[in-house]
Each structure stands twice: as C-alpha cells, then as structure tokens.
Amino acid sequence: MTHPSESISAYLDGELTAGERGELGQHISTCGRCAADLEDLQRVRAAVRALPVLEMPDDVYGQLREDDRVVPLHRNRGVWVGAAAAVVALVIAVAALVTPPASSVTIDQLSSRFGARVSLDPAFGPAKVIVPDFAELHE
Amino acid sequence: MESVPLTWEEVARVYGRKIYNFAYRLTGNSADAHDLVQEVLLRVRKGLANYQPGSFEGWLWRITRNAFLDEVRKQKRRPTAPIPDEIDRWDAATTESADLEFDRISLGDDIQKALLELPIEFREAVVLCDVVGLSYEEIASAVAVPVGTVRSRIHRGRKQLRELLE
C-alpha cells in the first residue's frame, strides 16, 4: 500500500468513512513513517486549536450603530432623490424662461469691462466665452 | 431547521467572536481583524434582506472569506501592510525573563507567524477547520471547492506548519 499521507489529517479530524478509517488504522500500525506523520500532524493540529480565543473589541459595532441611526433616510432615498431632481429641473426651466438669449463676446471685451485676467492656450485659437446678453458691452 | 438570526446585531452577538478570531488568525493583527469584522457585518446587514433560507453558516462564512479575499486584494495594491501585532509583542517579549506566561504567548506567536507564511488557500482552510471549527463539508461550501480539495489544503497546510515550526 502506498502511504495515504493526505488521509492522515482527515483521520485526525474524524472526516474519514468507517471503512477508510479502518484501512488507515491498519496501515499506520505497520508503517513507521505514517505513524510518525500522524504524531507530528496531531501536534500541529493541537497547537493551532490551542491558540487563545480572542475577545472582540467593543468598538467594532460603533460605525454600524452609527449607520443604523440614519437608516430611515436611506430607506427613503428614492423619494429624496426624486424630489431633488424635480427641484433641479424646475430651477433649470425657470432660468431658461427668464434668461435672455446668449450672445458672443470676446475675452478682451470682458477683460476691459470687468478687469478680468484670463489666460487660455492660444493653440486653440481666439478665446471666446458664452455669457448672457450684456447689452452695454456692445455700446 | 436551522434558525436564522434576523438582524446584524444578532449575527454579531452569536458569531462576532468567531468571525473576529478567524479574521485575526488570517491577518495577524487586530486593526485588520477589526476592519474585517466590520466589513462582514456590513455585508450581513445588507444581505439579510435578500437571504434565502438555507445553510445560514455556509452563507455567513462565504461572506466572511470573500470579505477577507477582497481585503487581501486591496492590501496587494497598497504596499504598506500593518506589522502583525505578534511581531511587536515578540520583540518586546524577548527582553523579558522567560516564565510560563511568556512560553504560552511565544508558542502562540510562533504558530501565528507560521500561519501567516502559509499560502492563503491553506491558511484559510486550516483556520476554518481548527480555529472556527467547521467540518470539511462546511468549509467546502464556504470556499466553493470540492471536499477533496479542502482535505488536501488542510493536510498540506498542516504539513507546511510543521516544517515552519521545526
């Protein structure tokens, strides 16, 4: 019989069938190498199992409990998102109605009118911005 | 039929310590274990709403090991992993006189350090078996591999531990 090495751990864990267990037990009783393996693995297994059980720190729950306090808002998230979207849509619609049509002015005009300093990449040609119609700029 | 905890707080009460010990033995430090337990409980809270009756423990340990693997992937992208607590304690302890308590702690430290040197697949199989106390079948369900693979991983993990501890 070849050495059923992998079965030794399963044997220690009680994970073999009665038949497999009997076979392995018989082999170990006549095989010094497998008997030594069994002893070594038993020691390792016992050492890992003897690691102290650690207590969980209480503050693990802190953030979760904090989250629970805002759950009602999360539960109604769909309603709030819908309401916010409706308000934004309304503002845009009103703005579109009351804002006069846009016209084109140059950076130089803006700069001379408002004293603004604008620096843009000349590689993209003359800089232009679109702003609401300022009639006085064309006077 | 297996009774299912209804809230994340019940899950935390019943399984929290086991999850923490699993997390600590896999990561080797309390900060990562702490974060991992929080992540697991967050996923449990989210997942309980859609939980389908079945093996609750299988579901819970699947979540737990997936959270661990996600954390490992994140750590790989972030090279500054925290130093395991044991190494700090080991350095401090080596300056103290040897007594029984020291022997107990240092023995545990040796095992913890050896666990951290195992490939992740072997480490999680050994920890789920020997720290958490799951059966091979439960581990197979949590890790989504055949029982034969679990058997092989546990055995190879223990053999490597033996070599590391020699």
Q: What was the pLDDT predicted at B90?
A: 42
pLDDT bin (cut points 50, 70, 90) of residue B166 is confident
Q: Examine residue A83 and state whether it is found in any structural domain, yes or no.
A: no
| Nearest residue, CB atoms, B108 vs list A52, A59, A67 | A52
The pTM (predicted TM-score) of the whole model is 0.67
Our count of domains for chain A comes to 2
Highest mean pLDDT: which of A2-11, B26-35, B93-102? B26-35
pLDDT higher at B94 or B80: B80
Q: What is the mean pLDDT of residues A114-129?
A: 52
Contacts of A36 in chain B (CB under 8 A): none
* Residue of B130, B136, B166 best to disrupt the A interface, most CBs of A under 10 A: B130
* SS3 per residue for chain B: CCCCCCCHHHHHHHHHHHHHHHHHHHHCCHHHHHHHHHHHHHHHHHHHCCCCCCCHHHHHHHHHHHHHHHHHHHHHHCCCCCCCHHHHHHHHHCCCCCCHHHHHHHHHHHHHHHHHHCCHHHHHHHHHHHHHCCCHHHHHHHHCCCHHHHHHHHHHHHHHHHHHHC
Q: What is the mean pLDDT of residues B120-132?
A: 96
Quote ipTM for the complex. 0.80
Closest-CA distance of chain A to residue B2, Å: 22
pLDDT higher at A82 or B63: B63
Q: Examine residue A95 and state whether it is found in any structural domain, yes or no.
A: no
Q: Which amino acid is at B70?
A: D
Q: What is the mean pLDDT of residues A93-112?
A: 65
**Domain hosting residue A44, numbered range:** 5-49
* Residue of A5, A6, A51, A69 best to disrupt the B interface, most CBs of B under 10 A: A51
Contacts of B131 in chain A (CB under 8 A): 48-49, 51
**Chain A, chain B: beta-carbon pairs less than 8 Å apart:** 86
Per residue in B9-25, pLDDT tens?
A: 888 889 999 999 999 99
Pick the last residue of a domain from A13, A31, A49: A49
CB contact under 8 A, B131 and A13: no
Q: Examine residue A130 and state whether it is found in any structural domain, yes or no.
A: yes
Q: Examine residue A34 and state whether it is found in any structural domain, yes or no.
A: yes
In order of their start, the domains of chain B are 1-82 (1.10.1740.10)
Q: What is the mean pLDDT of residues B51-75?
A: 87
Q: Examine residue A107 and state whether it is found in any structural domain, yes or no.
A: yes
